């Protein structure tokens, strides 16, 4: 699950953000149903691109693509936008549950996923896992409130810009924790 070091720099942002960019363009140009079909196709293309370049499928985008396929398919089949609006709730709740359940059983999945980027002591990973798990639950709750009380236009903007902005802000607020628990850089072998 850890990051591949030889990956081109463009691959990760393309796989993670490409589908959402396609979604917003399709929504602004047409409607939520066209945007739903577009994000389903874009998620598959992103996974295929990742596989062709790295010969592996990234875990989080794979899980996201499966949920997009299920809820997007229900949205299109039943012509009911409720299902695609619930998708962020399900994804955020699922990620939060995986992280917090893993932490209970001393499985720090966040460390497995991000350990090649953030080098921290075990205590830091435990705290960061707890914070991310609770953050994902909060975002699931917030998505539920927004889609149930606001217009579709508002929800789309919240989904694309609000959730992304809140996530970036949350990560920025974790920088002091990352610094406090950072592992000392190896100064190399000592010669005698």
Q: What is the pLDDT of residue 174?
A: 94
Closest Cα to residue 23, out of 51, 59, 64?
A: 64
Look at the pTM and tell me if it is higher than 0.75.
Answer: yes
The tens digit of pLDDT for each residue in 181-191 reads: 988 765 333 44
CB atoms within 10 A of CB 129: 19
C-alpha Rg value of the chain to the nearest Å: 18
Query: Is 99 within 8 Å of 136 (Cβ atoms)?
Result: yes
The tens digit of pLDDT for each residue in 125-157 reads: 999 999 999 999 999 999 999 999 999 999 999
Q: What is the pLDDT of residue 185?
A: 63
Please state, rounded to an integer, the average pLDDT across all residues of the chain.
89
Residue tagged 């914070």 (tokens): 131
The tens digit of pLDDT for each residue in 97-124 reads: 999 999 999 999 988 888 778 888 988 9
Quick one: tokens of 145? 């409130």
Q: What is the pLDDT of residue 4?
A: 45
CB atoms within 10 A of CB 9: 7
Closest Cα to residue 142, out of 166, 125, 118?
A: 166
Query: Is 97 within 8 Å of 130 (Cβ atoms)?
Result: no
CB atoms within 10 A of CB 42: 21
What mean pLDDT do residues 37-49 have? 94
- Angle at which helix 11-29 crosses helix 32-54, to 10 degrees, equals 160
């Amino acid at each position: 699950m850890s990051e591949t070091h030889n990956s081109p720099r463009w691959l990760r942002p393309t796989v993670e953000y490409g589908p959402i960019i396609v979604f917003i363009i399709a929504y602004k140009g047409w409607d939520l149903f066209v945007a739903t079909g577009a994000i389903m196709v874009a998620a598959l293309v992103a996974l295929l691109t990742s596989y062709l370049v790295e010969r592996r499928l990234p875990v989080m985008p794979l899980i996201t693509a499966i949920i997009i396929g299920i809820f997007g398919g229900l949205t299109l089949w039943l012509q009911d936008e409720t299902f695609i609006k619930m998708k962020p709730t399900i994804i955020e709740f699922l990620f939060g549950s995986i992280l917090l359940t893993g932490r209970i059983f001393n499985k720090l999945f966040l460390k497995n996923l991000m350990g090649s980027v953030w080098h921290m002591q075990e205590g830091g990973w435990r705290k960061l896992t707890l914070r991310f798990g609770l953050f994902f639950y909060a975002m699931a709750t917030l998505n539920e409130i927004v889609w149930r009380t606001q217009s579709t236009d508002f929800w789309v903007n919240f989904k694309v810009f609000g959730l992304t902005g809140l996530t970036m802000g949350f990560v920025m607020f974790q920088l002091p924790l990352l610094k406090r628990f950072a592992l000392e850089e190896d100064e190399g072998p000592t010669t005698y």
